[in-house]
Copies of this chain bind each other. A is one copy, B any other.
Amino acid sequence: MAESLTMKGAANSPDADIGNLVCSSPVTTAPLAESEATELARILAALADPVRLRLLSIVASSPEVCSCALEGPLAKSQPTISHHTKVLADAGIITGEKRGKWTWWHANPDRIAAIRKALGG
């Protein structure tokens, strides 16, 4: 069977419109509410790490990537890779699917687009 590993916690609001997935209006348009700022900061913090940015760029460049294919290019230990994939998944930026022994990761373009939109896109 395939089990889905996605974001959890406050980020997992099922009724959120895909356009306003992160903020109701862009940062450049109107003063942000405190709750929106906290939520957007949480998601941006998930991206604000060189290892995670490279991890995302590798995952987003392929349909899906196995965890074991990340350890080499990123030159980090297995627990560290697992930690970073979890952070990105909790932020909803990537999603992991467990098939057999392996976990396959793929990017969530909609969420990334929502982040861009929150930044004034």
Interface of A toward B, CB cutoff 8 Å = 27-32, 34, 37-38, 40-41, 44-45, 47-54, 56-58, 60-61, 73, 107, 109, 112-113, 115-116, 119-121
Contacts and interface: CB of A to CB of B under 8 A. Distances in A.
What is the predominant secondary structure among interface residues of chain A facing chain B? helix
A119 B114 CA distance: 11
Contact of A60 (B28, B41, B58): B28
A108 to B, nearest CB: 10
A41 B53 contact: yes
B50 A48 contact: no
A53 B28 contact: no
The 8 A-B residue pairs with the shortest CB-CB distance, nearest first, are A44-B48, A45-B48, A37-B50, A32-B57, A28-B60, A37-B53, A41-B50, A48-B48
Nearest to A121: B116
Contacts of A38: 50
